[in-house]
Structures are given as C-alpha cells and as structure tokens.
Copies of this chain bind each other. A is one copy, B any other.
Amino acid sequence: MLHLLSVNDLTNDFLYSLWRDASKNKGKSNNLLKGKVLTNLFYEPSTRTSSSFYSAMSRSGGSVIPINNVQFSSVAKGESFEDTITTMSQMSDAIVVRHSENGAAERAAAVSSVPIINAGDGNSEHPTQTIIDGFTIYNFLNKDLSNLRVTLVGDLKNGRTVKSLVKLLSRFDNNHFNLVSPEHLKLSTSLPKSSYETTDINEVLKDTDLLYVTRVQKERGSVHDYSLSLNQLNELPKKSIVMHPFPRVNEIPVEFDKDKRAKYFEQIRFSVWCRQMLLQKVIK
C-alpha cells in the first residue's frame, strides 16, 4: 500500500497485522521513524485528529509539520490543491490530508510522490478512524469482529465514520446492524445484509453488543438529537460497549463516563496506538 485513501485499501491481513502490532506495542515510543517528516495538511480544522497523528509520529521518533489552517496560509493563495500537495511531497515523507471536499484524498494521491493518508474528505471516507474503531472492537468484544449486534445512532447519512464502520463490519461473519436515525438522515449507502432501520433507539438498546453514537449536527435541521439518558444507557447489556468518534455534545451524559461499558476515551487512546503502527507501515 502506498496511499491510504479508503477503507477499501485496508485488507483484512493489513488490519490484523496492524492491530496485533498495536496490541503488542500499546503506544510505547520508539525510534523507527527517526529523521522522517510528516506533513499534517488540514484544510478543515480537526485538532483531535491532527493531534493524534502528531502524537503518533512523535512517539515513532519522527517530526510533524503542522499546517492546520490552510485557508489562512499562503499555500492556499491562488495555488491549486495539486500544487500544494506536490510541494509538500517534496519536503516530507508522508502527508495526512483533511479536506472538506469528497475525493480530495484521491486527487492528492494522483500527484503525490509520497504516501497520502486520508484523514477525512468531505462526507465520504475517514479510513484511519475505521482502523481505530475496528481495534476497539477487536480489544473489547472479539478478535473476529463477528457475531455482533451493532447499533448505530445519529446522522447516518452524513457521518463518514458510520459509513466506513458499516463497510468494515460487513466483511465479517454474522454481524447485524440496527440503524437508528431521523428519517431524513438515514444511511444513504446500500444497506448491509442483516439490518433493521428505525427512528426509535429504545427499540434496540437491549439488542446491542456495540452502541456507536454519533452527533446529529444542528445545521442538519433535525428535531431529534438522540441524547441518551443514563436510564436508557443502563438498558444496554452488561457486556456491551459504547463508542463515539467525538466530539460529543449532549449525546452521552458525563455521568456514564465511569461506566465500564464506556469505551470512547479508550478509542482516543487507541487512536495514537493505531496511527503509530500505521505510520510505521506506510513511511519508508
């Protein structure tokens, strides 16, 4: 693999190898990328994702050029996106791109001489989040990622993390999906084989191994916000887990943070573990 643009670039072999390495290394620092330089090229601000890559690269012994507000920077002034990518590919060993337009990562890969890692483009893909989400399941549910009752709640139409996770989990055996969203924010990709759509979260809480919560952004014009109460969350089976790609606003009450089913902060910790392994695999 030269570039990581889509979940489709992630073979199961690659994923399992990365997850095994991450399990073994557990975020410990090493020197494998000493002297290497990563560019964090963020056209949309995303401090969480850029910091996670920053930490991962630093803990691998490398350096990061942080470009977090391209709209304020000179590379943006009249210059084409392709020229910016070509320029940064002359100066660094890999480029992490976050962009508001679908397909931006592919356009970057078309001209770059170094690996492009898609850190979210438009509402289409966010494959490194999927690596992390998969790893969280691998750790806390089962290493096969199979036989799971997966409840996805929120804006399933625009949420790129949801779409990528469904893509991933559909690869494995016997997973069932409960898709909970307002009518106008239903999953727009083709439905997975075993799935059930509803607008009412209460119908499916008990039938859940993994509750994956996302935010319904106000600008999407929803009256539902799917804020869950402690009582609702306590309907979840004891062995289930709750994930959230963050930021959270009101979807999960902070009182639930100490519950052993809450795994969203582990997800963040795992983001560094996994990206560290990814960078070490991708950068030559």
Report which A residues bind B (CB closer than 8 A).
Answer: 28-31, 34-37, 39, 44-48, 51-52, 54-55, 58-59, 61-63, 65-70, 72-80, 82-83, 86-88, 90-92, 246-249, 254, 265, 268-269, 271-272
Distance between Cα atoms of A234 and B209 in the complex (Å) = 65
What residues of B have a CB within 8 angstroms of the CB of A254 in the complex?
80, 82
Q: A29-B35, A35-B61 are in contact. List 16 more A-B contacts (CB 8 A).
A: A31-B35, A37-B54, A46-B74, A47-B70, A47-B74, A51-B65, A51-B92, A52-B91, A66-B66, A78-B249, A80-B254, A87-B246, A87-B265, A87-B268, A91-B268, A91-B272
CB < 8 Å neighbour of A55 from B44, B45, B68, B92: B92
- 13 A-B contacts, Cβ less than 8 Å apart? A29-B34, A30-B35, A31-B35, A35-B59, A35-B61, A47-B73, A47-B74, A48-B87, A79-B246, A80-B254, A83-B247, A90-B271, A91-B272
Minimum CB–CB distance for A85 against chain B, Å: 11
Q: Determine the chain B residues whose CB is within 8 A of the CB of A78 once the complex forms.
A: 247, 249
**A120 CB to closest chain B CB, in angstroms?**
11
Taking CB as reference atom, which chain B residue is nearest A269?
B90
* B247-A75 in contact (CB<8A): yes
Task: Give the secondary structure class of A's interface.
Answer: mixed
Q: Do residues B65 and A55 form an inter-chain contact, with CB atoms below 8 A? A: yes
* A69 contacts across to B, CB distance below 8 A: 72
Q: Which residue of chain B has its CB nearest to the CB of A80?
A: B254
When chains A and B are docked, how far (Å) is the Cα of A162 from the Cα of B125? 43
Contacts of A271 in B (CB 8 A): 90-91
Measured in the bound complex, the distance between the Cα atoms of B88 and A68 in whole Å is 17
Which partner residue on chain B sits nearest A63 by CB separation?
A: B58
Tell me how far the C-beta of A209 lies from the nearest C-beta in chain B, rounded to whole angstroms: 24
The 5 closest A-B pairs by CB, nearest first: A29-B35, A58-B63, A79-B247, A47-B73, A90-B268
Does B86 contact A59, Cβ atoms closer than 8 Å? Answer: no
Please name all residues of chain B whose beta carbon is closer than 8 Å to the beta carbon of A29 when the two chains form the complex: 34-36
With A30-B35, A48-B74, A91-B272 known to touch, is A54 a contact of B65 (CB < 8 Å)? yes
Cross-chain contact A73 with B67 (CB below 8 angstroms): no
CA A45 – CA B82 in complex, angstroms?
Answer: 19
Give the shortest distance, in Å, between A192 (CB) and chain B (any CB): 30
Residue of B nearest to A217 (CB): B78
Q: How far is the CA of A59 from the CA of B45 in the complex (A)?
A: 26
Contact A55 B272, CB 8 Å, known A74-B247, A249-B78: no
A90 touches B34 (CB 8 A): no
- CB–CB B45/A74 < 8 A: yes
Given contacts A34-B29, A58-B37, A90-B269, contact A45 B63 (CB under 8 A): no
